[in-house]
Structure 1
């Protein structure tokens, strides 16, 4: 599934996380996060859940249902 890149960037900014910090806190590789931020990588619900948990938001906020 595709990720709402703008929402992911905003959530990271609110938590003051860079890619490395998000990777460490979520257990998701930095390369995966980087690919999502560039809009080049789709993901599964498990990975999205880990990222959302680290950012303290709902995974539903990150799902781009339009694509």
Structure 2
């Protein structure tokens, strides 16, 4: 069974903006479809571990930086 993750799309959006990328550029660099990016952004879809890893690798960060609940300083509900 594949683990499903909630990504922090606000943080991802900030990182994309800082790099002056578009969502299309992120998708291309992460080797995932643009539709996947838009589905994640609109919360119509959660990410697999593999997708989270690909996005993090494209952004040159650790996957735990974009997984909601992955940061130990984040408040728990």
1:39 deviation in Å? 2.1
Structure 2 unmatched runs, 5+: 70-75
The whole-number CA distance in structure 2 between the counterparts of 1:48 and 1:57 is 11
Structure having the larger proportion of residues in strand: 2
Greater RCO (Cα-Cα under 8 Å, separation 6 or more): 1
Q: Structure 2 length normalisation: TM-score?
A: 0.78
Structure 1 unmatched runs, 5+: none
How well do the aligned residues superpose, as a CA RMSD in angstroms?
A: 1.5
> Any runs of at least 4 consecutive aligned residues in structure 1 with deviations exceeding 2 A, and if so which?
none
Q: How many residues align?
A: 67
- The secondary structure found in structure 2 opposite 1:28 is coil
Say which of 4, 29, 45 aligns to 2:49: 45
Say which of 50, 58, 67 aligns to 2:62: 58
Render the CA deviation track for 1:7-32: whole Å, top value 9, x for unaligned.
11011111111111011111011011
- Larger-gyration structure (1/2): 2
